[in-house]
Chains A and B, each alone.
Chain A
Amino acid sequence: MQHLYIDRYAGLDSFIHKIDPRIKVITFFIFILYIVLTNPFSYLSFLLYGLVILFLIAISRIPFPFIFKKTLAVIPFVVLIAVFVPFIKRGEVLASYTLGSLRIEFTREGIVLFWAIVIKSYLSILCMILLTSSIKFTSLLKSLEKLKIPKLFIMIASFMYRYSFLIIDEAQRMQRAKKSRAFKNKKGLSAVKMLSNIVGVLFIRSYERAERVYLAMCARGFQGEIKTLDTFSIVPRDIMFLVSIFATLLLIQFV
């Protein structure tokens, strides 16, 4: 079965895709730092950041709808957390309501903070999504490894990447096997029971597979550390990309 969602547009051949993964990770990291550290009142800076990101998305040739759909998955969480801020943050009261014995205040500082959280996280998420969509997941992991992220995290992420699809396939097969034997969709408690059985079996199967994978690793000389070869090379184009983005960010600070 094919699961292309995660690397769907990673195989494109644009300027952005060709940048060395390490440089790309560093550049976007700097970009996000700038976004986060910008004064919430410099609206023009946010607008310019947004335009730069849109420009980068355009030259990466990843379809805009794909990127925006992905941001929708994260935004609800941000809003959910940020929405209480205007009521909690102390400061100049703009409005207040009394609900029985409860007094709710709405402050100017709170609203500013709310705006800052929402705009900064949205721009950062756009950066992250552009980064992860324009890079193969395997290259992303390798570049993080080269940037000295602890090996254990890399190992966990790489096994997750390799085996999550397999586990999804297994779950789908079990679902099908269940469907082909049960005449109708049961509802309520028995459906929950059925689901918990599937989850249980899936867990045991994954556990057993992990044992076998470990044996296969040992058979090829695994000694507690996964080593891979470095396949990246930095060319002038990469440095140019890093420098030009950095210069743009600096310029935006002065407008």
Chain B
Amino acid sequence: MQKIIEIKNLSYIYPDGTVALKDINLDIFKGDSIGMIGPNGAGKTTLLLHLNGILISNGSVKVCELPVNERNLDKIRQRVGLVFQDPDDQLFMPTVFDDVAFGPINMGLDSDRVRIKVDSALKFVDMEDYKDRIGHHLSFGEKKRVSLATIMSMEPDILVLDEPTGNLDLKHRKEFINLLKDMNITKIIATHDMNMVLSICSKVAIMDQGKLIAFDTTEKIFGNKELLAAHGLD
């Protein structure tokens, strides 16, 4: 199998001195679907921000064999699509169409291709009729789905999601999980939603206090009750 992300000895300290990541080593293969679980403040989001070069620190992160550094940023950001936790951060343009088109336009596609990509991304999340709607007039569930579309329109190889089901009601949560299930790309999902991890993730990484505690298949991790209990994840 092809190694798609390779993280070696990654540590990160925030400017205020908080140690967010300590010596992380992680290999992710093409087609993997990884659930990243751990208590609040474990460093999950910080790790995700390293995957497309928003944060760059010592240690090495490689995406599709490319080291994440200033020079490769454009290429890496096309391959790694990062969906932020708060859809109001993700959706910053006035209309849904402009938001979904933002990525493809920045990739330098011509306007016809951009339109095709926007249409298919919105169709995928079942929001075709919302093109001209305005960001702040959408419900939370709609915003979440449009957020996903803003990344899908860039057709990334790797989808990185931060808390995709947080704050969603049961119906929308189920719909969203089904959407994710339908996607056959590499996924990395940071979440507190254990049931979602069980239903879509093939592997699970446990993080606590900036360290990668365990990384194994979903069955093995969820079979190890002691490990889960030790990190408050039972």
A residues with CB within 8 A of B: 2-3, 7, 137-138, 141, 158-159, 161-163, 165-166, 209, 212-213, 215-223, 226-231
CB < 8 Å neighbour of B101 from A137, A159, A216, A229 = A229
Q: Is B77 at the interface (CB under 8 A from chain A)?
A: yes
Contact A162 B93 (CB under 8 A): yes
Contact of B136 among A159, A166, A222, A230 (CB under 8 A): A166
Contact B92 A228 (CB under 8 A): no
Which residues of chain B are near A7, meaning CB under 8 Å? 134
B134 adjacent to A141 (CB under 8 Å): no
B95 within 8 A of A: yes
A213 and B89 contact, CB distance less than 8 A: yes
Contacts A/B (CB < 8 Å), 18 sampled: A7-B134, A138-B94, A141-B94, A158-B94, A162-B91, A163-B92, A166-B136, A216-B82, A217-B92, A218-B54, A218-B77, A219-B81, A220-B77, A221-B106, A226-B93, A227-B106, A229-B111, A231-B97
CB-contact partner of B89 in A137, A138, A158, A216, under 8 A? A216
Chain B residues with CB under 8 Å of A215's CB are: 49, 54, 84, 89
Chain B residues numbered 122-151 whose CB sits less than 8 Å from any CB in chain A: 134-137, 150-151
Whether B154 pairs with A220 at a CB distance below 8 angstroms is: yes
Q: Which residues of B contact A216 (CB under 8 A)?
A: 82, 84, 89-90, 92
Tell me whether chain A's interface is mostly helix, strand or loop, or mixed: helix
Q: State whether the Cβ of B61 lies closer than 8 Å to any Cβ in chain A.
A: no
Report chain A residues within 8 Å CB of B151: 220
Contact with A along B158-193 (1 / 0, CB 8 A): 000000000000000000000000000000000000
Closest to A137 in B: B94
CB < 8 Å neighbour of A220 from B86, B134, B135, B150: B150
- Chain A residues, CB < 8 A from B94: 137-138, 141, 158, 161-162
Q: How large is the interface on B (under 10, 10 to 19, 20 to 34, 35 or more residues)?
A: 35 or more
Chain B proximity of A219: nearest CB distance (Å): 4
With most chain B CB atoms within 10 A of its CB, the pick from A141, A227, A229, A231 is: A229
Closest-by-CB residue of A relative to B136 is A165
Contact indicator A138/B95 (Cβ below 8 Å): yes
* With known contacts A166-B136, A217-B92, A228–B84 Cβ distance under 8 A: no
**A212 to B89, Cβ gap below 8 A?**
yes
Contacts of A137 in B (CB 8 A): 94
Question: Which 10 interchain pairs have the tightest Cβ spacing?
Answer: A221-B106, A220-B103, A138-B94, A212-B89, A219-B82, A165-B136, A227-B105, A213-B92, A216-B89, A138-B95
Any A CB within 8 A of the CB of B74? yes
Closest to A223 in B: B106
A162-B111 in contact (CB<8A): no
